[in-house]
Amino acid sequence: MNFAKGSLGWIEVVCGPMFSGKSEELIRRLRRAEIARQRVQIFKPALDDRYCDDHIVSHSELRIRSVPVKDAAQLESRLDLRTEVIGIDEAQFLGAELVDVVVRLADLGKRIVIAGLDTDYLGRPFHPMPELLAVADEITKTLAICMQCGNPAKHTQRLVASEDLIVVGAAGMYEARCRRCFEPNLAKQEVERAAAKA
Ligand code: ADP
Ligand code: ZN
């Protein structure tokens, strides 16, 4: 966002599958805001502590400090009123209330940069990302590389047995897959296979 003058509120959403560079892009945008001497605050869901509790860490080891929050209400309560730019990673874990909070903050003149998974391990829209995309001023979709065939990958393939929507993890538990190589039933088959063995 290079053209908005003054404190025009603004919502940016970066979405795509795991390993597509959402955190890298979020960190890049927030670093630029810091270089421009804007007041930046960064939040991530408390449940995503796969690397580190007080930083966002990309799969390529870029990092930026962040505040863990359990939901949108806690995010709002931790917000410093002087903050100009608000970064949010893994927004798909912060609940439906995030949408109203984000719109309210944009109406107050804040720039909000949001990253999150657009679809879940079955390829379904991952709420509240669809709603955030609808209220956004600017949208970026990122693609990963399919680990099976090397094509652009839009899906997050779960490799481990679990029917839970949220299973936090990274390498070994998930991989990026293109539309053709995506096997949404793989996780389900793994569950059935494990049950049959038991
Ligand atoms: P996201 O936040 O979307 O999960 P990250 O920003 O954390 O993504 O990580 C992106 C980085 O992950 C890439 O720059 C690359 O180093 C690494 N990476 C690992 N697997 C893949 C893949 N299949 N496709 C693209 N990048 C990958
Ligand atoms: Zn593929």
Neighbour count for residue 57 (Cβ, 10 Å): 18
**pTM for this predicted structure:** 0.91
Q: Which helix (H) or strand (E) holds 85?
A: strand 85-88
No. of helices (H) and no. of strands (E), the chain: 5, 12
Neighbour count for residue 55 (Cβ, 10 Å): 15
What is the per-residue pLDDT for 46?
A: 92
What is the per-residue pLDDT for 167?
A: 79
Match 């390829």 to its residue by tokens. 123
Closest to 16 in 3D by CA, of 149, 129, 96:
129
Phi, psi at residue 45, to the nearest 5°? -65, 140
Q: Which helix (H) or strand (E) holds 57?
A: strand 55-57
Q: Whose CA is nearest to atom 10 of ligand 1?
A: 21
Identify the CATH number of the domain in which residue 136 sits.
3.40.50.300
What is the per-residue pLDDT for 64?
A: 92
130 assigned to some structural domain: yes
Question: What's 156's DSSP letter?
Answer: E
Enclosing domain of residue 54: 10-142
pLDDT tens-place string over residues 61-84: 899 999 999 999 999 999 999 999
Instruction: Name the residue of 19, 26, 141, 147 to mutate for ligand 1: max ligand atoms within 8 A of Cβ.
Output: 19
pLDDT tens-place string over residues 135-166: 999 999 999 999 999 999 999 999 987 778 77
The list of the chain residues with pLDDT below 70 reads 1-5, 48-52, 169-171, 187-191, 193-194, 198
Which one of the listed residues 24, 90, 97, 190 is annotated catalytic? 90
User: Is 76 known to be catalytic?
Assistant: no
Could you identify the atom of ligand 1 that is nearest to the CA of residue 27?
6
44 assigned to some structural domain: yes
**How far is residue 181 from each of residues 20, 171, 184, measured CA to CA in Å?**
16, 18, 10
What is the per-residue pLDDT for 50?
A: 54
25 assigned to some structural domain: yes
Q: How many domains does the chain have?
A: 1
Alpha helices in 97-147 (DSSP H): 98-107, 129-135
Compute the distance from residue 143 Cα to the ligand 1 centre, in Å. Answer: 9
Among all ligands shown, which has an atom nearest to the Cα of 25?
A: 1
117 assigned to some structural domain: yes
150 assigned to some structural domain: no
Q: How far apart are CA 7 and CA 9, in angstroms?
A: 6
